[in-house]
């Protein structure tokens, strides 16, 4: 499952990419000359696999952020294509416009009709201009809500995929109520009477991500980040220096593992060794299994119970100290 082209190679990926290149060269050489290099090739391939596993098993938070932004990483439509069938994309918020930074539609998962919403980035400059780099305007959130309500009306489970550098900060976005659009989605998603399965597949930047991120279960691919602001934004405000983003990434505890420990997400979804961009089919295959499992589990719940559990789930999130509580007074003593 080798990749022949690497548009961007991160520093930490270099050793393994070098090895991959060598393997490709040897394959070509073997083909041209007819010399049998199979044993060597097998050995090198195994070595590359091992190296990749090792490198990716101990990435820093900042390296994970970079991976989450990898231009070869599968986006929402890449997963939709591989996981669902019969996809019909639906456009427009019925108020103002169609926002290509969010895709929405209906499809089937394992034969069952469902609704899909998700942020959508572009692969190249042209496509990115069209998709606005996956940064939605208010009409994107309103389109998503319209289609989710359609799902609720006809009893279709909802699957939402998060991958955005943030809601777009622009004049038009403010004029048309970016904040209201996100707030409305949080409010409405918290009581739609059908299962909602959220998956963070890339970048989860703040309200722009959460705006389609309220659900019954929050899954997160292992090389993603999700937080209140981008590491660059955080660095610019708190350090007054964008270049401190790696430090900010560390401090914000934004990796899947951190968020699992904080109780913000429910499960971490494994990616193929080296990350989803090395093997999109493999990544989709793993995710598909998880999505089906969650759908079947949630469909067993009574809609009323489903909604109550959803509100309860978010109610528990956070960390505070009850000053009159026993355990807290102990803590206070310890501090002194």
Partner 1 sequence: MGVDMDWFKKKKGISTSAEKKSLPDGLWIKCNKCGEIIYRSQLQARMNVCPKCDYHFRVSSKEYVQYLFDENSFQEFNAHIAPGDPLKFKDTKKYSDRLKAAQKKTGLLDAVITGEAAVTGYPVIGAVMDFNFIGGSMGSVVGEKIARAIDRAREQRKPLIIVSASGGARMMEAALSLMQLAKTSAKLSQLAEAKVPYISILLDPTTGGTTASFAMLGDIIIAEPGALVGFAGQRVIKQTIGQDLPEGFQTAEFVLEHGFIDLIVHRQEMRTTVGKILDLIWGQNNASEPTTETSAKS
Establish if 177 lies at the interface with partner 1 (CB under 8 A). Answer: yes
Chain position carrying tokens 């019969």 = 86
Q: Which of 34, 322, 326, 336 binds partner 1 (CB under 8 A)?
A: 322
* Distance in Å, CB of 57 to partner 1, minimum: 23
Establish if 327 lies at the interface with partner 1 (CB under 8 A). Answer: no
Rounded to 5 degrees, what are φ and ψ at 178? -55, -45
Q: Which is nearer to partner 1, 82 or 253 (CB)?
A: 253
Region from 25-33, 77-85, 186-194, 271-279 binding partner 1, contact rule CB under 8 A: 186-194
Q: Which of 171, 300, 304, 327 binds partner 1 (CB under 8 A)?
A: 171
Q: Which of 101, 196, 210, 221 binds partner 1 (CB under 8 A)?
A: 210
CA 249 remoteness from chain centre: 16
Q: Which is nearer to partner 1, 18 or 180 (CB)?
A: 180
CB 190 within 8 Å of CB 310: yes
Return the residues of window 252-271 that contact partner 1 according to CB under 8 A. 252-254, 258-259, 262, 264
Q: Which is nearer to partner 1, 105 or 211 (CB)?
A: 211
Q: Which is nearer to partner 1, 16 or 229 (CB)?
A: 229
Establish if 221 lies at the interface with partner 1 (CB under 8 A). Answer: no
**CB contact burial 247-280 (16+ within 10 A = b; e otherwise):** bbbeebebbbebbeeeebbbebbebbbbbbbbbb
- The number of beta carbons lying within 10 Å of the beta carbon of residue 333 is 8
- The number of beta carbons lying within 10 Å of the beta carbon of residue 292 is 15
Region from 73-81, 96-104, 295-303, 316-324 binding partner 1, contact rule CB under 8 A: 316-324
- Non-local (6+) Cβ contacts of 316 within 8 A are 263
Half-sphere exposure of 165 (CA within 13 A, CB side): 17
Q: Which of 304, 318, 327, 333 binds partner 1 (CB under 8 A)?
A: 318
Establish if 326 lies at the interface with partner 1 (CB under 8 A). Answer: no
Q: Which two tokens stand for residue 199?
A: 């998956």
Q: Which is nearer to partner 1, 38 or 308 (CB)?
A: 308
Rounded to 5 degrees, what are φ and ψ at 209? -85, -50
CB 146 within 8 Å of CB 93: yes
CA 65 remoteness from chain centre: 11
Q: Which of 239, 246, 267, 301 binds partner 1 (CB under 8 A)?
A: 239
Length of the chain, please? 336
Return the residues of window 274-313 that contact partner 1 according to CB under 8 A. 310-311
- Which burial class, exposed, middle or buried, applies to 44 when counting CB atoms under 10 A from its CB (0-12, 13-18, 19+)? middle
Q: Which is nearer to partner 1, 125 or 317 (CB)?
A: 317
CB 79 within 8 Å of CB 287: yes
CB 102 within 8 Å of CB 117: yes
Establish if 19 lies at the interface with partner 1 (CB under 8 A). Answer: no
Q: Which is nearer to partner 1, 161 or 168 (CB)?
A: 168
Q: Which is nearer to partner 1, 19 or 251 (CB)?
A: 251
Establish if 39 lies at the interface with partner 1 (CB under 8 A). Answer: no
Establish if 190 lies at the interface with partner 1 (CB under 8 A). Answer: yes
Region from 78-86, 110-118, 163-171, 273-281 binding partner 1, contact rule CB under 8 A: 163-171
Name the helix (H) or strand (E) containing 198. strand 196-205
Q: Which residues bind partner 1 (CB under 8 A)?
A: 167-171, 173-180, 182-184, 186-188, 190-191, 206-207, 210-211, 213-214, 226-229, 233-234, 237-239, 247-248, 251-254, 258-259, 262, 264, 310-311, 314-315, 317-324
């Amino acid at each position: 499952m080798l990749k022949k082209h690497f548009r961007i190679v991160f520093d930490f990926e270099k050793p393994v990419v070098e090895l991959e290149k060598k393997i490709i060269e040897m394959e070509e050489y073997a083909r041209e000359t007819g010399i049998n290099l199979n044993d060597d090739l097998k050995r090198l391939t195994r070595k590359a696999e091992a190296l990749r596993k090792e490198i990716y098993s101990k990435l820093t938070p900042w390296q994970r952020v970079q991976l989450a932004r990898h231009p070869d990483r599968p986006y929402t439509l890449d997963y939709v294509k591989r996981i669902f069938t019969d996809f019909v994309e639906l456009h427009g918020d019925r108020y103002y416009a169609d926002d290509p930074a969010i895709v929405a539609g209906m499809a089937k998962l394992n034969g069952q009709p469902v609704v899909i919403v998700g942020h959508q980035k572009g692969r190249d400059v042209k496509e990115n201009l069209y998709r606005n780099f996956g940064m939605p305007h208010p009409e994107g959130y309103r389109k998503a809500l319209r289609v989710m309500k359609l799902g609720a009306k006809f009893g279709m489970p909802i699957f939402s995929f998060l991958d955005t550098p943030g809601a777009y900060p622009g004049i038009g976005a403010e004029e048309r109520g970016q904040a209201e659009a996100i707030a409305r989605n949080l409010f409405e998603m918290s009581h739609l009477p059908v299962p909602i399965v959220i998956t963070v597949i890339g970048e989860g930047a703040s309200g722009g991500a959460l705006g389609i991120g309220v659900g019954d279960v929050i899954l997160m691919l292992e090389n993603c980040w999700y937080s209140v602001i981008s590491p660059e934004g955080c660095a610019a405000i708190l350090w007054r220096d964008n270049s401190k983003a790696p430090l900010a990434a560390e401090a914000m505890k934004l990796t899947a593992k951190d968020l699992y420990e904080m109780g913000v997400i429910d499960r971490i979804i494994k990616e193929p060794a080296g990350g989803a961009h090395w093997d999109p089919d493999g990544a989709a295959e793993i995710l598909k299994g998880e999505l089906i499992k969650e759908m079947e589990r949630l469909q067993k719940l009574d809609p009323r119970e489903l909604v109550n559990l959803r509100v309860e789930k978010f109610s528990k999130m956070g960390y505070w100290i009850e000053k009159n509580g026993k355990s807290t007074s102990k803590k206070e003593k310890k501090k002194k």
